[in-house]
Amino acid sequence: MTWDIVQGIWTQWHKLTHNHLVLTANRRTIQAGKFQENGNTSPGSKPSSGSHVSSNVANEGAKTKFSAGTQSENNYGSMGHGLTVLKSSESGFRAISDASPLGIVVTDVEGHCTYTNAAYRTISGLTLKQALGMNWVRLIHPDDCQRVLGELRDITPGTVSFQTEFRFVRTDGSAVWTRVNIAALNDESDNGAEIHGYVLTIEDISTRKSTEFALRDSEAALFEEKERAQVTLNSIGDAVLVTDLMGNVTYINQVAEEMIGWSDEEAQGRPLSEVFNIIDGTTRQIADDPAQRAITEDRIIELATNCILVRRDGFESLIEDSAAPIHDRDGQVTGAVIVFHDLSQSRAMVSKMTHQARHDFLTGLPNRALLMERLSQALRLAQRHDKQVALLFVDLDDFKHINDSLGHGIGDQLLQTVADRLVTCVRATDTVCRQGGDEFVILLAEIERPEDASRVAEKLQAAFAVPQRIDGQEINLTLSIGISVYPDDGDNIDAVMHNADIAMYHAKESGRNNYRFFRPDMNALTTRPFANAKVPLLPKRG
């Protein structure tokens, strides 16, 4: 039963009730007039014995009484019929009202109950006796009362009806969520200017509210889970990109935004190929769509190696990624997620760490480990191509005195400038290594004759004849150089290294600022220690 129907029925019943009161009043008036016409002051009184009326007057009076009496009887009969109809209408309204699933309450202007139907008593838990005379406001839940009363106070004059929702407190203390419609009862006799009461319909919406609360809790939990996932995805170091089944982008995290050059908002709904532009690093051809493959094949797909991501502005970066299908609760594929990261930085880091492991931290020159690798390779190539290899041990004369007198800071800068000058004196295919301290080693790969090594030694001495200038100070520095040549001075790394060191020691003993080639008799003339890790001997030349 809708609110409009209830209000209409109640308004009609209210009219009938009003007519009932009018008819009852008229009936009493007519009854009183009838008694007076019979000469009685009250029902059952007798006429006075001293009265005298002429026959003409009596006859006229008889006619008048007959006429009046007949009219009164007719009016009285009509009123009786109206009361019968009224009672029948009232009974019909009550029957309809009690059959309604909506609770119906009629109150006076102060809110005290004058009528309730069966549904209201079921909702409130009140009996008819308890409900009649009770102000319905007392049943509003304390947590809702202030709000509802405020809403009632804000109703503007002339408002046809008002609706709100709140909890009714039942007699057993339980609460029932209800939707309440309230309308004023106006009397049409005064053009509705005066309110005589109110009619309320109360609908039990507990089930709907429970569903709403459960849905609200589910939405809150879903939102919390989504926020947690969002924070997690934005905090990881990898880029994440999600597509739907049609290959349109539905989400990208912050790392992906930076790498592809699209914001999440801009990328939403766009085809993956427009946002995620990848090419083969070798062929420069467009690479296969990993998301579409993951969806079609329903498995995890690894991106091809040497794959390059072309950012929105054209910047290219080497990436590594994988794509996996996304399934719903029924196991059906609904999209794909691509996880990728920039290999450029990681490869640069690996390259940097490798470089640091094989180069001197102060001068940037190859260290002893890298020298040994290159020397081993140079000896193999020389043997294969019937060439020679020269190894020059270079020692800075009096460097300790310079370092102690001018300070380690000046000493370090001097070592760096020495390294630069050494590199300028040799070929690009040669290797200049810092052995440690103030000792350097130069590897001359694939020379034709020993004289090639002597020319390099002389070039070095000429270069260092020019004073070094460090922080405004002019420093004169000379070199002592020892040279050994493969295969004449040794047929393995150990021997070549050892003999070059012995030759350098003899150069220093000979007055410094000169170079010496190794001679076999030098081993008998020096006790300079030299130790190297032993390596297998190379095969002798045939």
Per-residue pLDDT of the chain (542 residues; tens, 9 = 90+): 454 555 555 555 555 545 544 444 454 444 444 444 444 444 444 444 433 333 343 344 333 333 434 444 455 455 555 555 555 556 666 777 777 889 999 999 899 999 999 999 999 999 999 999 999 999 999 999 999 999 888 876 666 678 999 999 999 999 999 999 998 887 665 565 677 888 999 999 999 999 998 998 888 888 887 777 777 777 777 899 999 999 999 999 999 999 999 999 999 999 999 999 999 888 889 988 999 999 999 999 987 778 899 999 999 988 888 899 999 989 999 999 999 988 877 777 877 888 889 999 999 999 999 999 999 999 999 999 999 999 999 999 999 998 889 899 999 999 999 999 999 999 999 999 999 899 999 999 989 999 999 999 999 999 999 999 888 889 999 999 999 999 999 999 999 999 999 999 999 998 889 999 999 988 776 655 543 444 343 343 33
Q: What are phi and psi of 169, to 5 degrees?
A: -95, 115
| Residue whose C-alpha is closest to residue 317's, from 278, 353, 350 | 278
Give all domains of the chain, ordered by start, each with its CATH number. 87-208 (3.30.450.20), 236-347 (3.30.450.20), 358-524 (3.30.70.270)
Q: In whole angstroms, how far apart are CA 105 and each of 174, 180, 183, 227? A: 20, 10, 11, 47
Outline where DSSP puts E strands in 210-356.
239-244, 249-252, 277-280, 301-302, 307-310, 316-327, 333-342
Reduce the DSSP state of residue 72 to 3 states and report it: helix
pLDDT (tens digit, 9 = 90+) per residue, 116-139? 999 999 999 999 999 999 999 999
The whole-angstrom separation of Cα 332 and Cα 319 is 29
The whole-angstrom separation of Cα 457 and Cα 463 is 10
Reduce the DSSP state of residue 407 to 3 states and report it: coil
The whole-angstrom separation of Cα 272 and Cα 252 is 11
pLDDT (tens digit, 9 = 90+) per residue, 216-268? 888 888 888 777 777 777 777 789 999 999 999 999 999 999 999 999 999 99
Q: Is 278 within 8 Å of 287 (Cβ atoms)? A: yes
Give the pLDDT confidence score for residue 496 in this predicted structure: 95
- Integer-rounded Cα Rg, in Å, for the chain is 57
Give 91-148 as a 3 state SS string.
Answer: HHHHHHHHHCCCEEEEECCCCEEEEECHHHHHHHCCCHHHHCCCEHHHHECHHHHHHH
User: In this structure, how many other beta carbons lie within 10 angstroms of the beta carbon of residue 431?
Assistant: 21
Long-range CB pairs of 74-78 (<8 Å, 24+ gap) are 75/26, 75/30, 76/27, 76/30, 76/31
Q: What are phi and psi of 328, to 5 degrees?
A: -85, -175
Q: Is 339 within 8 Å of 239 (Cβ atoms)? A: yes
